[in-house]
Chains A and B, each alone.
Chain A
Amino acid sequence: MDRETVEKVARSAHLKLTEEELEIFSRDLGDILGYFAMLDEAPDCEGFGIDPIGVADVLRDDEPYMELEPDALLQGMDTYDNYVRGPRLL
């Protein structure tokens, strides 16, 4: 895979790669996709789903309940005045 494509994919995945990583992944992804090319000859099949077994919707009554205390969920996060601190948007 050429370096430009690797860089484009990395940007999309929120990764910044070093020059060394670009070289390694360019070579490795080319090899891996070369191996995956055997899928082209695999027989097709209809009626497939996302999961390997059949699944059904699971619905519950729309009643509010609290399983975890908000304080427990905020533990370990950077917070102030009940807000979560994050990077700037603009």
Chain B
Amino acid sequence: MSHSSVLSSLSKINEKYRMFRTVTSETDAGDAKFLFSAKDNLTSKDMETCSGSRILEGYRPPFDATSIAKMREAGGLLVGKTNMDEFGFGTFSTNSAFGVPRNPYDLERSCGGSSGGAACAAAVMEGHVAIGVSTGGSICCPASFCGVYGVVPTYGRVSRYGLLDYGNSLDKIGIISSNASDLGKYVEIMAGADPRDPTSCVQPAIGARRKLKSVAVPGDATEGVSEDVKKAFKDGLEALKSMGVDVEKVEMPSLRYAIPAYYVIATSEASTNLARYCGMRYGHQDGDLSLKFDDYFTSFRSQYFGEETKRRILLGTFTRMVGFRDRYYSKARRVRQSIIEEYRSVLSGCDAVLTPTMPFVSPKFTDISKMTPVESYKADILTGPPNIAGMPHASMPCGYDRDGMPIGMQFVANHWDEGVLFSAAEEWEKNFDAVRPEVSI
């Protein structure tokens, strides 16, 4: 399908799958070298940026995020902003104020989250490149649920300038695509030092592709994982062995603390980041100016923030309060360091740590609506550890359950060692029979 044909069919595709919050009005792709989308929490000059939140409705940034600017400079045409959980707060993209993306393998199921729209676009549109953002699993989860490849580079590899922060010490910008070779190609375009984001200025160059020779599998990697996922993961391990990859078992006891530590750090940072959304600078500003400023801010935030956003603001505010900060926030940061050291120790003897990506296949929306917050947070049990540690990681499809729903496995490499992930994805793609979803519009 030509670029221009894709552009003319975007609205129709979106009616069915709801992956986009906004689509371009362009109908002619001109001399664009490739088409790409960006998660709706990355600023773009030509489209609204709402981060899935009603409070930002109408916000039109005057500048492009560095990641989007670099993709444009490389010849990319931004075709739309993808749907997401409000500010990235979710695992199923059901917390979006602007429609919930539908899984292309089964419309009654979730695309995963929070970059659910991005993974959906990558799965539905062959050759499409989607920029996603991961804080605690928001690239690998939806990539796994939608049967595509997703990569999260090392924290700091891609500038966060123009990203609407969720958790500053956790947010990472990456790529989702149905083509494994796109992971390295487009991360290399977006990567590089940017003085506007000092955390991007310490990075070494991305190394040459390096063949994956060995992986370590944590002993409890499949604890609490569904039988279908266990089987697909086991098959994936056998396939890797047949490709000449050594597989060894390791113990990583600190990983069990990753999820509570992640949620403490993430919500603590989010609760301060979201203080700026108060009805004055961005989005809605139609409040009663006769109110005192505290009441004015409170009225906006109470009216426009969604339920999960309020829950996380409350949680993060509480865990930073005097009397509780040491128990929660300070402890969580120490736990993060333990996890980083454990990864480094294991990765000194192998190329990657391997687990399933998600403990189950994409659930139905009816089942998601019955989940408690804790059950929902625990769904990140396998994607949380590399995210809290800032380690580069990638999800690759490794099988399908009895209903044909995709299953992914997750490779975690050492800081700055993305080259081994890019190479592993390209090798894996040659050996894995992917089943594409049937797309009809």
Contacts and interface: CB of A to CB of B under 8 A. Distances in A.
Do A and B belong to a common assembly?
yes
Interface of A: 1, 5-6, 9-10, 12-17, 21, 24-25, 28-29, 31-33, 35-36, 38-40, 42-58, 60, 67-69, 72-73, 75-78, 84-90
B378 to A, nearest CB: 8
A35 B62 contact: no
B198 interface: yes
B202 A17 contact: no
B195 A60 contact: yes
A52 B374 contact: no
Interface in B19-73: 58-60, 62-63
A35 B317 contact: no
Contact of A42 (B298, B305, B331, B390): B331
Nearest to A51: B169
Given A36-B328, A45-B341, A76-B59, A54 B202 contact: yes
A45 B338 contact: yes
Interface residues of B, number: 75
B294 A42 contact: no
Nearest to B300: A14
Interface string B291-325: 11111111101100101001101110111010000
Overall SS of chain B's interface: helix
Overall SS of chain A's interface: loop
Contacts of A77: 280-281, 285
B278 A53 contact: no
Contacts of B307: 21, 24
A87 B287 contact: yes
Contact of A39 (B62, B261, B388): B261
B156 A42 contact: no
A58 B195 contact: yes
A36 B305 contact: no
B428 interface: no
Nearest to B253: A43
B430 interface: no
Contact of A15 (B263, B298, B315): B298
B202 A56 contact: yes
B214 interface: no
B118 interface: no
B373 A75 contact: no
